[in-house]
Amino acid sequence: MRIFAGRFLAMAMLVAIVAVSFPAFDARGQPQEPTALEMAQLPKFCWGQFRVPNATGDEFRIRDCGVYSNHYCYALMYLVRARSPRTNKQGRVDLLGHADVDIRYTEHGIKDYPKCSIRDNVLKSRIEVDNLLRMYGGKPMPPAK
């Protein structure tokens, strides 16, 4: 019985180590956090949120925007993935849809923060996502109220 318990404990530890060692993946098999290559394409203000080592100064975080702004960097990650040459048309539409939702959430959340550090970035991303959705046959969400 002791041998069985020891093997069971060893297997449980192995499963725990493997589960912690690999990033989480979404339903399409893509990592839920940006890869290193994707991170290099994101603005520096996203690096603090995604815990890039030594990204600790003000330039590495979003300032004066409220709690809703944490979705914006994920929107940018989806936008980077949608631009990838490895992504097919339907994949682009799906990823742009995710970016659209996260940008809309951010727009709504920062409307009462006039000094929000990413306000111009959000506007530019909104225009780009809307244009890409139209180009690939997707439908942008209606404007936030």
In a domain, 6, yes or no: no
Buried b (16+ CB within 10 A) or exposed e, 32-48: eebeeebbebbeebbbb
Q: How many domains does the chain contain in total?
A: 1
In a domain, 1, yes or no: no
In a domain, 119, yes or no: yes
57: helix, strand or coil: coil
In a domain, 8, yes or no: no
Q: What is the pLDDT along the chain (145 residues), one digit of tens a residue?
A: 566 555 544 444 434 433 333 344 455 555 588 999 999 999 999 999 999 999 899 899 999 999 889 999 999 999 999 999 999 999 999 999 999 999 999 999 999 999 999 999 999 999 999 999 999 887 766 665 5
In a domain, 113, yes or no: yes
In a domain, 34, yes or no: yes
Position 58, amino acid: D
Residue-number span of the structural domain to which 55 is assigned: 27-136
pLDDT score recorded for residue 18? 35
pTM confidence score: 0.76
pLDDT score recorded for residue 139? 73
In a domain, 39, yes or no: yes
pLDDT score recorded for residue 7? 54
pLDDT score recorded for residue 63? 94
pLDDT score recorded for residue 92? 94
What is the DSSP secondary structure assignment for residue 51, as one 8-state letter?
T
